[in-house]
Amino acid sequence: MALPYELLVGLRYTRAKKHNHFISFISLISMCGIALGVAALIVVLSVMNGFQTELRSRILAVVSHVEITGASGEMAGWEAVAKQAAEQPQVLAAAPFVQAQGMLAYGQSVRGAVVRGILPDLEDRVADFRTHMKNGRFDALQPDHFNIILGSELARALGVFIGDRVTLIAPQGVVTPAGVVPRLKTFHVVGLFEVGMYEYDSGLALIHLADAQRLYRMDDRVSGVRLKLDDLFVAPRVARSLAGKLDTHAFISDWTRSHANFFRAVQIEKNMMFIILSLIVAVAAFNIVSTLVMAVTDKQSDIAILRTLGASPASIMVVFIVQGALIGCIGLGLGVAGGVALALNVDVVVPFIERLLGTQFLAKEVYYISNLPSELQWSDVTTITGVAFLLALVATIYPSWRAARVNPAEALRYE
């Protein structure tokens, strides 16, 4: 099938004349610039996605998708609430909890902590503490045994290990003739967990639900019910739906509200990185302007001949738009291929560079995430490709317009 002559001439003009290799060199530089910018943008956004997913998974190892708490801080008949919540098709599991403030003491060390009473079997269905146990067993939490599992940073601050006994001081006191005396209870440390979030590793302690009810004088009441959903991203919608269906007065929150600042910060950083790196792609794309301006100057006689043969100014514009678009598409294709390949192999490339340079980018002693996570999202690749291609097309408009304004008589006067 015959191709339009504008396309054929534009493809031919992608290479300059044999005696002028400078324009070809500038074209190559423009391609490489676009390729590097696109590849960097894909890799950086993939790493940001990986950090976002890693952060979300670590938070949701401790925090449930949806949390129902009593309006007064306590809830009676949690089984009925869990049954009503389970009527929602998205709800996979429910678990009761008691949550209160406490102070842990060991020797001369004292630390404040959030104490959470749980039922281990049910808690397994809504959280991932078992997979984050550093020492000990999650099943060691038994009723009336007064065992406790501490976050690794909390245990380090107290200086305790598996087998030690710590004193838990509850704010609910006992009234005596000498005044209000805090309630004290000795707990046996049976495990340590580490989820990689300092907030929880340094300030959360787990005990059995029955022990928490007894310590905080809650009888058979609980603080609330935690829910796990089949899709964590529908949590806001499920929370709104439950608000109108529960028979009890309760506060309902989801993970997107309880930790909105974390995810908002990551999303803002991702958006800013996209804008900043898009400027790098824009700089590379606008190198096409200089390439086409020199090409127009080099091809003025050819343009004049085409005009005298009947070519319209619009056809001349199309010729140079094709030339610029081809440069952009080649660079874009190389950038997408290289960026996708690197994003999918960050876990291999980064350790190689670390060994080569003899350094570690994310030291385990400083960062909880010691490797660069990467999650390639094809929607990001599509957006990057579209933006880069649009910038490349915009860069061709001015040189093409100049080519269309070449006066054939002036161009051929000295030929």
What tens digit of pLDDT does each residue of 258-307 get? 777 777 777 788 888 888 888 888 887 777 787 777 777 777 777 777 77
What token pair was written down for 20?
A: 């002028």
For residue 150, what pLDDT is reported? 93
What token pair was written down for 186?
A: 């000795």
Burial classification of residue 315, based on how many CB atoms lie within 10 Å of its CB (0-12 exposed, 13-18 middle, 19 or more buried): middle
Strands 179-193, 147-151: pairing kind: parallel
Q: CA neighbours within 13 Å on the CB side: how many for 293? A: 7
Q: 309: Cβ–Cβ under 8 A, 6 or more apart, which residues?
A: none
For residue 340, what pLDDT is reported? 92
Q: What pTM, to 2 d.p., does this model score? A: 0.71
- Residues 27-40 pLDDT 10s: 788 888 888 888 98
For residue 248, what pLDDT is reported? 77
Distances (CA, A) of 97 to 74, 94, 123: 10, 10, 9
For residue 188, what pLDDT is reported? 93
- Per domain, the residue ranges of the chain are 5-58+263-412, 72-248
pLDDT beneath 50, residues of the chain = 1-2
Burial classification of residue 279, based on how many CB atoms lie within 10 Å of its CB (0-12 exposed, 13-18 middle, 19 or more buried): exposed
For residue 16, what pLDDT is reported? 52
φ, ψ of residue 159 to 5 degrees: the values are 80, 35
For residue 1, what pLDDT is reported? 43
d(Cα 29, Cα 218) in Å, to the nearest integer?
72
